[in-house]
Structure 1
């Protein structure tokens, strides 16, 4: 009998312990910080309901954001998605799109027709749809690329990027000198129509001028992956020389395309004899691996890894058989992926010297990646007095690297003079596994070969008149960068030489450098020789130019140091150039994320000792700098200011940074919040900030770091702006204060958990948490609170106090 009693005691003790653990776990549940408008969806354990309707939700597939889409919630919490939207999530389905039924003409489809219930979850409190599927069902795209339907055209606005530089000085035996230089890169946007103006102003005591470098209207056309512009600008080409023109242009914009199309990487092709594992190896590391069935395979979405070594393709079979092949790879800007293309078209009048000629022209070029190893290009320039044709190719050669070559033939006439000739170019890029990078290039200009810009002065090139212009004949350059073993730094060397027609002299430059670091101490050593001319005209009599021959060398050291609890860097440098030498020692300190300064003492063989100081401060509106230099013969000082200004329907905003792709951040009531952790981009007193350097055509993630007690509902936003656009991103914020107090009913019993709270006007304030603890959000503590325990029962708290007891009396 005693044994049975003891058994009962043990059983009751175990059940009591288990019950207390359950109660404890329940008491630990504390969703009390979810208040206000989130009450209806705040406690899924209690209600788990959301009103039927259509909601805008953020969709995540395997934790990757896919965009903001509409989700329909029906009675019974059934979820529906637009048929067209689902196929933007890059999830493979077995059911073809055209065979899927829809519930109505709007195209709503039950989500379970695409996914199992276990593969998705709708988070009602954050309006987020999480989808989790096996990786094999994911259609692979570039991480930050988004389909054109998700690109944001932006809003109307006027902006300018400015840079103002003022310098002044007092010089011994000469008059004081002052100058002002202002650059303005401005624009006016009306949706996806963009007007651009790039100008600068220069002023000193002798003259002043206002120069417009470019002014044009621009519009992008994603349907053909191109951008059109009309006005004045400069041509841009990897093959032709650039010049200023007035006219129209249509240019393919490769940045609109996924990186797997835009950036060069070989397309991996092969044939598997049976089921196998395909591996792509670079520098003894697997950069890609995939199981394949018997038959041909192709992988066209490999992305650059940062290395430029050749790739190895390995096919491993279940029976142990292995085949290996080398895939040449050397990243080059002139190589395109297999099957991809690039093109540009310009038409108008070109500008020679300081005015536009009546010489109309048309320039066209087209390049295409034929396969992994060959990219071809063709182009032409046709004008009234100038014609030119170009053909070229980029070739990837195993063990040799990337070879790029082109030949351009041109003929021109002006003032009765004729000129004909060609230009040949060849370059080689190679990266070796020994971490050696080599670049070699050479150019040969035939006599009387002229560019379009030179063609207007053809007479000065082909006649013997005074002022015969220097015409380049040959140029050669080579550069090598070598990373040494760990702890020994890196070496670099380069050579450049240019020869001219009608003279035996050449311009040459040789350089050699070594850099390294040890225990945060870094140093750089450079040496070289320059032989050059500062004249662009040959003297008619001697047919020679004035040449300079000088050697140079330098050494610089940077040492971290702490002085009087100030952490900074001591720098020292010594330079020799020809017969001149100089040395300096300085102190650099970053005081804060916004403020830094530099002090420098130096001496020169021509001016003895001098001292200088520099300070830079990044305010929320502008980047400001000041400098002062003092020597025996002169005193110089100056200041600068740079940043951007933008005017739109959301007011005038400023940023200390500059850029061409703007995002207006709007978090009402949240002041001094950092955007993406950047201390120079912070919200103003109204909660607005200007980010001027978003990446166009790509997903930009924007998050706020706020120190205030105000709430930001979902502090991460995503936007994919058009090129040159002004996007507007608004955060949902709650700037009300949070109050916590305790209350009981008239019998001293804690109020019902989960009961809703209202003020006199019927505005929802919060709810009742565990143990009768009340959490409310309001601008000020209300005089009274109505507690709605259910549809028919309510009580009222009058004379609310934060400390002490609050009694809720039945109504």
Structure 2
């Protein structure tokens, strides 16, 4: 049995850890201090130069004291020390503005001599695996937060894919059986910058089959105008006029092309700093932004959109620690745009629901423009042979009074036997009161004159010859009120009236609270239809959820939930439902639920299992309700066809990443639920964010012992709809701990072990011990110590003893 003597190793590590940076002056140590009694040689030259050896390491990167990313950094020998080798290209991605440097620095691929730039410094803390970069403000890139250089955008690989959902149902009722099968398939194909999308539905219900192919279109993003061009079967957005299905062309602003801090509406903050100050922006109790500013006026115009969740509190902390503050009132609505931003959508084509060409051709367009930090103006037009409509509106963030929008639409409609004209006006309002916890998320009212129709009404009446019941007035309001530790209240009211006198009313009010770990809810709802309110449903609901924590057989914390709910219609009919749910197996890939429902008339129960693998998701369920019994089953997942073959996985998002591990199977991915590479070394990471950094990481903690990876973290910036490919260099290899002698004596302590590429592979420890990983069946290493002494170590695994790691003794020649 082998043992490690830790005395020399401990002394050496202690000396290493006392060095917090890699840029240190060369120091010498008394080698005799660590020598054996027989005076065996010790080589500490590597440690006298630096606290880190040349090689590749994963470090947290901070720029001007702010965490930025986690990257692999290369360290190389330079002027008797070991320093990080960063190219200008890498520094540019971290915020250095290359345009402010002289041409002499523009060798982008080599190590950049950052010491030649005044005040630009790099500090390495090996104990924290942290690399801190200090970039003077004069050299900082002024790009807004969330900006990703377009040169990094990846159009992905040429490929085709499909998402499928296969489901079946078997029902027995009073001795009669019925079966149904169906398949929903989403189709996609990518070629360079072009994308195709479509859908297929196939059903077979007791012998009656149906096949439907729909929603087929192609599209291409046009970055120069921040827009997306679509051609095919499309839908207009319905942001002003009602949405319509049509065959044609659409050109629409693509906000994904903008940095995240420029998407959606957020105010511009202006202030004055008396000195080099720290500006902090808070919303409620949460800090949403912080930056350092120079003395004088400052402008913050890259806040992330925060919806309608309250006023902004701005604090300016000066160098002498004095703090001044002010409030920027803030509320938002969907129609609000940032100052100077133009958003638009243009639709041209033939309506899907029209019976003839005359009724079908139409034009639909809307435009939004942010005049300043307060006002946004917008207009819309919708034209058809039988319909012409125009709308104008304005939206405003009116400070402490909230946000509102108002628009008026005029429409002229031509029916078979008559014409009609009318006007419709709508108002929306939003306001958050962070001091009281109230959030009026949306309040709206719309009134339409009797002669106002929507395009869909005109098409339907001209097609069916039935008179359309057009809308008169609509009101809706949603309010949330936080009660702090006592929970929250919410309410929603909706009312729609028609010109024939009929109405629809929906009302909901509820209360939620958490008592220790128990979640409680109580709500009342009421739904009423037609003018006499003959159809009225009223319901009181009570629910509770109790988590049960336990240690599973892997000694990890697992949670199951016991749920109870009660519904009453206020006429004496009460239903009780109880259920239990949770997850099993090592990665919680098996989820289960069982429930039962009891009311005055029936008893029902059901059991469901869901298993999620790396390549598909499976569901099976059984339910019983009186004389009826039903078995449900389904399978869903995704398939990508690419140059390397066919890869099965979980659902493929519109934008995804295809991971390759150089043919190595069963490689797990970090933070991806039950995703491992297949037998060909591929895996699918779904739902990537277009034009943003998407980090993919190999889970090295669950990597097989015989696998070695040089870089476990990589990033992709796919364009919209792309399938980007990331390849990880993973090699199979073995591990060994070998005692090595040279000319009858142990190798000098601290000697360097170099691989065939002259990279540092290990360092010699006490009694010539060398730990090696990534070994092949046969491999050679060069061992160096002192200034000019070296030997060659040839290793064959057959000469060593086998265990979890190989071990034995060898001679260096």
Do the aligned partners of 1:72 and 1:81 also contact (CA within 8 Å) in 2?
A: no
Task: After superposing the two structures, state which structure 1 stretch, 744-753 or 253-262, moved more.
Answer: 744-753
Structure 2 distance, partners of 1:695, 1:525, is 37
Query: Is 1:263 aligned to residue 268 of structure 2?
Result: no
Structure 2 distance, partners of 1:765, 1:284, is 49
Note the 1:77-226 alignment, pairs <5 A.
89-91=94-96, 96=100, 100-101=103-104, 111-112=113-114, 115-116=117-118, 119-120=121-122, 131-134=133-136, 138-139=140-141, 141=143, 144-172=146-174, 175-205=176-206, 207-226=208-227
Q: What corresponds to 1:509 in structure 2?
A: 506
Query: Is 1:698 aligned to residue 685 of structure 2?
Result: no
Q: What corresponds to 1:36 in structure 2?
A: none
User: Given the superposition, is the C-alpha separation of residues 43 and 150 from structure 1 closer, same or farther in structure 2, using an over 3 Å criterion?
Assistant: farther
* Structure 1: stretches of 5+ with no match in the other structure: 1-16, 32-40, 51-56, 534-543
User: Given the superposition, is the C-alpha separation of residues 84 and 505 from structure 1 closer, same or farther in structure 2, using an over 3 Å criterion?
Assistant: same
Do the aligned partners of 1:374 and 1:395 also contact (CA within 8 Å) in 2?
A: yes
| SS of structure 2 residue aligned to 1:399 | helix
Q: What corresponds to 1:331 in structure 2?
A: 332
Task: After superposing the two structures, state which structure 1 stretch, 446-455 or 668-677, moved more.
Answer: 668-677
Deviations 1:259-294 (CA, angstroms, capped at 9, x unpaired): 222132111235679998866554477765667677
Do the aligned partners of 1:145 and 1:699 also contact (CA within 8 Å) in 2?
A: no
Q: What corresponds to 1:526 in structure 2?
A: 523
User: Given the superposition, is the C-alpha separation of residues 359 and 288 from structure 1 closer, same or farther in structure 2, using an over 3 Å criterion?
Assistant: closer
Query: Is 1:497 aligned to residue 495 of structure 2?
Result: yes
Deviations 1:387-408 (CA, angstroms, capped at 9, x unpaired): 2111112112233211122122
Structure 1 distance, partners of 2:193, 2:582, is 44
Structure 1 distance, partners of 2:402, 2:698, is 45
Do the aligned partners of 2:447 and 2:474 also contact (CA within 8 Å) in 1?
A: yes
Do the aligned partners of 2:394 and 2:406 also contact (CA within 8 Å) in 1?
A: yes
Structure 1 distance, partners of 2:145, 2:494, is 41
Q: What corresponds to 2:483 in structure 1?
A: 484
Structure 2 distance, partners of 1:361, 1:213, is 20
Structure 2 distance, partners of 1:753, 1:492, is 68
* Structure 2: stretches of 5+ with no match in the other structure: 1-28, 553-557
Do the aligned partners of 2:661 and 2:681 also contact (CA within 8 Å) in 1?
A: yes
User: Given the superposition, is the C-alpha separation of residues 245 and 60 from structure 1 closer, same or farther in structure 2, using an over 3 Å criterion?
Assistant: farther
Structure 1 distance, partners of 2:184, 2:294, is 60
User: Given the superposition, is the C-alpha separation of residues 284 and 307 from structure 1 closer, same or farther in structure 2, using an over 3 Å criterion?
Assistant: farther
Note the 1:343-354 alignment, pairs <5 A.
343-352=344-353
Note the 1:770-789 alignment, pairs <5 A.
770=765, 771-777=767-773, 781-782=777-778
User: Given the superposition, is the C-alpha separation of residues 655 and 288 from structure 1 closer, same or farther in structure 2, using an over 3 Å criterion?
Assistant: closer
Structure 2 distance, partners of 1:517, 1:638, is 34
Structure 1 distance, partners of 2:512, 2:133, is 50
User: Given the superposition, is the C-alpha separation of residues 201 and 738 from structure 1 closer, same or farther in structure 2, using an over 3 Å criterion?
Assistant: same
| SS of structure 1 residue aligned to 2:151 | helix
Structure 2 distance, partners of 1:323, 1:809, is 70
Q: Which has the larger radius of gyration?
A: 1
Q: What corresponds to 1:64 in structure 2?
A: 68
1:640 paired residue among 623, 629, 634: 634
Task: After superposing the two structures, state which structure 1 stretch, 469-478 or 203-212, moved more.
Answer: 203-212
Q: What corresponds to 1:536 in structure 2?
A: none
Q: What corresponds to 2:15 in structure 1?
A: none
Q: What corresponds to 2:398 in structure 1?
A: 397
Note the 1:267-282 alignment, pairs <5 A.
267-270=268-271, 280=281, 282=283
User: Given the superposition, is the C-alpha separation of residues 318 and 800 from structure 1 closer, same or farther in structure 2, using an over 3 Å criterion?
Assistant: closer
| SS of structure 1 residue aligned to 2:717 | strand
Q: What corresponds to 1:611 in structure 2?
A: 605
Do the aligned partners of 1:436 and 1:483 also contact (CA within 8 Å) in 2?
A: yes
| SS of structure 2 residue aligned to 1:352 | coil
How far does residue 196 in structure 1 lie from its aligned partner after superposition? Answer: 0.8
1:552 paired residue among 539, 543, 548: 539
| SS of structure 1 residue aligned to 2:96 | coil
Query: Is 1:448 aligned to residue 451 of structure 2?
Result: yes
Do the aligned partners of 2:266 and 2:306 also contact (CA within 8 Å) in 1?
A: no
User: Given the superposition, is the C-alpha separation of residues 30 and 166 from structure 1 closer, same or farther in structure 2, using an over 3 Å criterion?
Assistant: farther
Q: What corresponds to 1:8 in structure 2?
A: none
Deviations 1:650-704 (CA, angstroms, capped at 9, x unpaired): 2211222442111011123654343232232222244321011111111111111
Deviations 1:699-724 (CA, angstroms, capped at 9, x unpaired): 11111114212122121111111111
Do the aligned partners of 1:797 and 1:809 also contact (CA within 8 Å) in 2?
A: no
How far does residue 185 in structure 1 lie from its aligned partner after superposition? Answer: 1.4
Task: After superposing the two structures, state which structure 1 stretch, 617-626 or 654-663, moved more.
Answer: 654-663
Query: Is 1:585 aligned to residue 578 of structure 2?
Result: yes
User: Given the superposition, is the C-alpha separation of residues 643 and 398 from structure 1 closer, same or farther in structure 2, using an over 3 Å criterion?
Assistant: same
| SS of structure 1 residue aligned to 2:377 | strand
| SS of structure 1 residue aligned to 2:451 | coil
Q: What corresponds to 2:596 in structure 1?
A: 601
Structure 1 distance, partners of 2:47, 2:618, is 48
Query: Is 1:739 aligned to residue 742 of structure 2?
Result: no
Do the aligned partners of 1:644 and 1:692 also contact (CA within 8 Å) in 2?
A: no
Do the aligned partners of 2:613 and 2:675 also contact (CA within 8 Å) in 1?
A: no
Query: In the comparison of the two structures, how many residue pairs are matched?
Result: 751
Note the 1:221-232 alignment, pairs <5 A.
221-232=222-233
How far does residue 206 in structure 1 lie from its aligned partner after superposition? Answer: 6.9
Q: What corresponds to 1:435 in structure 2?
A: 437
Structure 2 distance, partners of 1:317, 1:804, is 61
Q: What corresponds to 1:417 in structure 2?
A: 418
How far does residue 591 in structure 1 lie from its aligned partner after superposition? Answer: 1.7
Q: What corresponds to 2:6 in structure 1?
A: none
Do the aligned partners of 1:80 and 1:111 also contact (CA within 8 Å) in 2?
A: no
Structure 1 distance, partners of 2:783, 2:320, is 74
What's the TM-score, normalizing by structure 1? Answer: 0.80
